[in-house]
Amino acid sequence: MEKLAEYDPKRAELQAQFQPAIWLEDAARRVGQIQAVTHSLKPIHPDAKGSSLYRDPSSMQPLDEMGSHALGAEFDADVVGNAAALDVYKLLKLAHQGESLLSLATQADADLAAALSDDPAQAAAWMAAFAGLSEARGRLSSHTLAKQFYWLVGADPHDDAGYHLLAPLYPTSLVHRVYQALQDDRFSDEAKAAREARKAGHWHERQVREYPQLAIQSLGGTKPQNISQLNSERRGNNMLLASLPPVWRSAEIRPVLGTASLFKVFGHRPEARRLTQLLRRFLEGDPARNLETRTQRDEWVEALLEELMLFTAEQQTLEPGWSTDARCELPATHRAWLDPEGAGETPPDLIDELARDFANWLNHALRTPLPMGDAEYLHWRKQARELFKAMEREGVL
């Protein structure tokens, strides 16, 4: 009983600290110790003392390159500063009808003011303090431990005045989105099911994404919260995608000899086999007869046609006239298609014949175990002919 009596004053003191008015007053004071950011300096170097910035991605100029602008309106803001004050940000992250309390405070929302305090002046002061969370602290500055580099903006690289000094910041909101995407692709139940389906040779509606040679950079050591709030949520893990040049393995390009159809050779190409298997598995699953199914089916057939054009382009890099070799058993249309400069006169019905042969080949490739007939043949032929005609109009053929 004596111990309970001893702790009663401490309990009462703690309860008093968390009375709404008292806690909000303390939070409004402590909010100045943290800053909401989308671009942070701390991950560049933990001891750097310069500025971090908050920029709404939807307000950034759109670019073709990947950047924070691609996040749009859906993004996670980060928080830097005193980790002991992060509980204030947890309050301001709470959402009401799709808007965070921070956003409402920035707008000086009247309903939020009424919820905070019956005293309008007190509520306005608290909201102003909370709204300052996304504002830069003091004058913008860099630091000796931050990265900096000169970027040429003039025409003369010898002119020192023709450079801007840039101080890059860590795009922490973009990094967090990448982390979330990779975690979903690697560990979500849907991703695991897709990998199991691939292993069993079955079709699955979800794509399987792999990230070879992925590296993980740890920021903050045993105290990731000292870097930022989002870094703490990632337990300090920051994903680094491999930025290595591809290892190009060029197979020797050989002329199509000793066979009566170019499709006998084309059909053994690894990518052609892969795409044909994907299409076969998809159709074996008896998908619903709707627009989504037709779109997916046509996308795989179009990919096969693109692979056929790649195969054609490779054959056309050979010395013109290879199709006149006595070992070449191809029909005239196939010779003219693969060896246009050396096969002689181009048949007038070249495109129609090739579209017909492609449709026949695809029907045959899918016929076991699928019941391919005239309807499928006519569809493949039409799709191939449209692609060939489009390329002819563009001067590719």
Question: What is the span of the domain harbouring residue 218?
Answer: 172-240
- 38 Cβ neighbours under 8 A, 6+ residues apart: 53, 54, 55, 56, 57, 68, 75, 77, 78, 171, 172, 173, 174
Residues 67 and 27 in one domain: yes
Residues 278 and 374 in one domain: yes
At 40 the pLDDT is 92
At 92 the pLDDT is 85
The three-state secondary structure class of 247 is coil
Residues 229 and 303 in one domain: no
Strand partners, 122: none
148 domain-assigned? no
Residue 328, both tokens: 């070449």
283 domain-assigned? yes
152 domain-assigned? no
At 1 the pLDDT is 45
Residue 217, both tokens: 């950079």
60 domain-assigned? yes
Residues 280 and 222 in one domain: no
150 domain-assigned? no
312 domain-assigned? yes
Residue-wise pLDDT tens for the chain (397 aa)? 455 455 577 777 777 777 888 888 888 888 888 888 999 998 998 888 888 898 888 889 988 888 999 898 888 888 888 878 888 888 888 888 878 888 888 888 888 888 888 888 888 898 888 888 877 777 888 898 999 899 999 999 999 999 999 999 999 999 999 999 999 999 999 999 999 988 888 888 999 998 888 899 999 888 888 898 899 999 999 999 988 887 776 678 899 999 999 999 999 999 999 999 999 999 888 889 999 999 999 999 999 999 999 999 999 999 999 999 999 999 999 999 999 988 788 888 999 999 999 999 999 999 877 888 899 999 999 999 999 998 887 766 6
Residues 217 and 289 in one domain: no
Residues 121 and 204 in one domain: no
Q: How many domains does the chain have?
A: 3
Residues 99 and 23 in one domain: yes
Residues 235 and 282 in one domain: no
348 domain-assigned? yes
At 333 the pLDDT is 94
- pTM (2 d.p.): 0.58
Amino acid at position 225, single letter? Q
At 127 the pLDDT is 87
Amino acid at position 149, single letter? F
Residues 176 and 286 in one domain: no
Residue 141: half-sphere exposure toward Cβ, Cα within 13 Å: 9
At 384 the pLDDT is 94
- 100 Cβ neighbours under 8 A, 6+ residues apart: 92, 93, 94
Residue 129 CA to residue 29 CA, distance in Å, equals: 8
41 domain-assigned? yes
Residue 144, both tokens: 């000796």
At 397 the pLDDT is 65
At 396 the pLDDT is 60
Residue 362 CA to residue 355 CA, distance in Å, equals: 11
Residues 228 and 320 in one domain: no
- Phi, psi of 39, deg, nearest 5: -135, 115
